[in-house]
């Protein structure tokens, strides 16, 4: 009698408790609250090889939770709709069908994004062009920056990269490390680098993958690339003295070794290192331009937000593109490949950077 009276007195309460709107609200709350608890109480900010802030961790967790929820909800709703069509006696009411179609649309959007990230963007190489005025430049000097090729049979981009880099008509081509995802890709990688053309020089350094996994492989034999391990080369390009300093990957934090003081030089000093780790040190050591990769531009980014996070000592502070660091210019390339275990790119297209060094002042 009492339950009947309660149901009669508050007929909307029972319907609300069973409503899809309430379940949707509870699900949305969980998507936000669970990542918030994890990012603030369970996982602290990290500063090291993989650096991230609490906000970055929260956004990543929210995104992962939302994608999983949308995918599961989309599949479940699609099954319900199919059964509703096949068995008219099980057809859902109109409102339920609208909710189901909404979940299918959201889940489908996530699926399309995943397909694009795996089978679209990793192949869509972008040639970015940049003009950088620097003191010490007499005439235009063209640099082409290649990095993070991560040669991989799933994508097989080595020849395309070589052809695109050669078409840029570079004076100097530099490769900034992370050559292979598999030792079986050594020959295709070498063939690609061999096909790259430069008027003056081709220079290379090793990245973390090259040191960790391929230290016994002669990555650059027969390619025409000179490997810089911990030394420099001085060039002259159309009257412009160019000193290029390169250093192989170091796991330990060794500023004096990797970014030692540079003696006075009447020209342009360029430093090559795989990551942005030593950029702020190099800015105090007489370096004019610091070139690196490693971050893959975040590899997965959100339009309007940017990279979810970036690897390296400074994380997303230097995720991709140009930065002014104490008067030194820093360029972080998005690179060309992907790591073996994460074969995705989203809003972080593979990049070949063409950088024209030009005189600081012109007549």
Q: What is the pLDDT along the chain (363 residues), one digit of tens a residue?
A: 444 444 444 455 454 445 556 556 666 666 666 666 666 666 666 656 777 787 888 888 888 888 888 888 889 888 888 887 766 555 567 777 887 888 899 999 999 999 999 999 999 999 999 999 999 999 999 999 999 999 999 999 999 999 999 999 999 999 999 999 999 999 999 999 999 999 999 999 999 999 999 999 999 999 999 999 999 999 999 999 999 999 999 999 999 999 999 999 999 999 999 999 999 999 999 999 999 999 999 999 988 888 988 899 998 999 999 999 999 999 999 999 999 888 999 999 999 999 999 998 754
Tell me the C-alpha distance between 249 and 294, whole Å. Answer: 11
Token reading at 322: 């140009």
- Strand pairing report for 310-311 and 50-51: antiparallel
Residue 188 confidence (pLDDT)? 98
For 264, residues 6+ apart whose C-beta sits below 8 A from its C-beta are 286
Residue 100 lies in a domain: yes
Angle at 167 between CA 128 and CA 226, to 5 degrees: 90
Mutual angle of helices 94-119 and 20-37, in 10-degree steps: 40
Residue 282 confidence (pLDDT)? 98
Instruction: Identify whether residues 32 and 146 lie together within a single domain.
Output: no
Tell me the C-alpha distance between 177 and 3, whole Å. Answer: 72
140: domain CATH number?
Answer: 3.60.21.10
Q: Would you call 229 helix, strand, or coil by DSSP?
A: coil
- Greatest alpha-carbon pair distance for the chain in Å reads 99
Instruction: Identify whether residues 199 and 273 lie together within a single domain.
Output: yes
Instruction: Identify whether residues 115 and 135 lie together within a single domain.
Output: no
Q: Report how many domains make up the chain.
A: 2
Residue 6 lies in a domain: no
Instruction: Identify whether residues 59 and 147 lie together within a single domain.
Output: no
Token reading at 279: 């950029």
Instruction: Identify whether residues 318 and 294 lie together within a single domain.
Output: yes
Residue 85 confidence (pLDDT)? 72
Of the candidates 119, 151, 169, which is a domain's last residue? Answer: 119
Residue 195 lies in a domain: yes
Residue 258 lies in a domain: yes
Residue 68 confidence (pLDDT)? 85
Tell me the C-alpha distance between 146 and 161, whole Å. Answer: 9
In the block, residue with structure tokens 């339920």:
96
Instruction: Identify whether residues 56 and 197 lie together within a single domain.
Output: no
Quickly count: other Cβ atoms within 10 Å of residue 362's Cβ: 6
Residue 3 lies in a domain: no
Of the candidates 53, 88, 119, which is a domain's last residue? Answer: 119
Token reading at 273: 């290192």
Task: Looking at the chain, list the stretches that DSSP marks H as alpha helix, in order from N- to C-terminal side.
Answer: 2-9, 11-17, 20-37, 54-86, 94-119, 158-167, 186-195, 208-212, 255-258, 279-282
Instruction: Identify whether residues 78 and 176 lie together within a single domain.
Output: no
Residue 63 confidence (pLDDT)? 85
Residue 196 confidence (pLDDT)? 98
Round the CA-based radius of gyration of the chain to a whole number and report it: 26
Instruction: Identify whether residues 212 and 329 lie together within a single domain.
Output: yes
Surface-to-core class of residue 274, CB atoms within 10 Å of its CB (0-12 exposed, 13-18 middle, 19+ buried):
buried
> What is the domain range of residue 175?
127-359
Residue 229 lies in a domain: yes
Q: Up-side HSE of residue 114: CA atoms within 13 Å toward CB?
A: 13
Instruction: Identify whether residues 78 and 18 lie together within a single domain.
Output: yes
Of the candidates 89, 119, 149, which is a domain's last residue? Answer: 119
Residue 160 lies in a domain: yes
This prediction's pTM:
0.86
Mutual angle of helices 186-195 and 158-167, in 10-degree steps: 10
Residue 256 lies in a domain: yes
Instruction: Identify whether residues 153 and 176 lie together within a single domain.
Output: yes
Instruction: Identify whether residues 114 and 132 lie together within a single domain.
Output: no
Phi/psi of residue 126, nearest 5 degrees? -110, 130
Token reading at 309: 């996070």
Instruction: Identify whether residues 85 and 149 lie together within a single domain.
Output: no
Phi/psi of residue 250, nearest 5 degrees? -125, 130
Residue 48 confidence (pLDDT)? 63
Tell me the C-alpha distance between 184 and 189, whole Å. Answer: 10
């Amino acid at each position: 009698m009492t339950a009947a009276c309660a149901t009669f007195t508050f007929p909307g309460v029972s319907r609300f408790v069973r409503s899809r709107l309430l379940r949707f609200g509870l699900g949305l709350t969980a998507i936000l609250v669970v990542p918030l608890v994890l990012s603030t109480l369970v996982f602290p900010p990290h500063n090291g090889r993989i650096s991230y802030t609490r906000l970055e961790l929260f956004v990543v967790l929210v995104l992962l939770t939302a994608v999983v929820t949308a995918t599961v909800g989309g599949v479940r709703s699609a099954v319900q709709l199919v059964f509703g069509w096949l068995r008219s006696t099980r057809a859902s009411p109109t409102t339920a069908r609208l909710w189901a179609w909404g979940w299918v649309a959201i889940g489908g959007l996530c699926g399309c994004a995943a397909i694009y990230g795996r089978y679209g963007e990793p192949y869509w190489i972008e040639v970015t062009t940049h003009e950088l005025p620097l003191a010490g430049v007499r005439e235009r000097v063209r640099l082409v920056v290649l990095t993070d090729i991560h040669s991989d049979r799933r994508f097989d981009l080595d020849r395309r990269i070589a052809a695109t880099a050669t078409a840029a008509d570079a004076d100097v081509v530099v490769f900034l490390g992370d050559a292979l995802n598999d030792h079986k890709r050594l020959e295709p990688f070498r063939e690609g680098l061999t096909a790259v053309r430069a008027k003056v020089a081709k220079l290379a350094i090793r990245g973390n993958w090259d040191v960790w996994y391929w230290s016994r492989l002669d990555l650059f034999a027969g390619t025409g690339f000179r490997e810089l391990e911990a030394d420099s080369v001085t060039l002259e390009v159309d009257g412009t003295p160019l000193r290029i300093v390169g250093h192989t990957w170091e796991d330990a934090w060794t500023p004096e070794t990797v970014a030692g003081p540079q003696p006075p030089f009447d020209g342009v000093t360029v430093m090559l290192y795989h990551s942005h780790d030593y950029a702020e040190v190099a800015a105090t050591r007489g370096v004019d331009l610091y070139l690196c990769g490693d971050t893959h531009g975040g590899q997965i980014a959100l339009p309007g937000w940017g990279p979810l996070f970036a690897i390296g000592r400074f994380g997303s502070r230097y995720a991709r593109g140009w930065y002014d660091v104490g008067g030194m210019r820093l360029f972080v390339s998005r690179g060309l490949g992907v790591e073996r275990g994460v074969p995705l790119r989203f809003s972080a297209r593979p990049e070949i950077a063409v950088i024209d060094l030009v005189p600081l002042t012109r007549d």
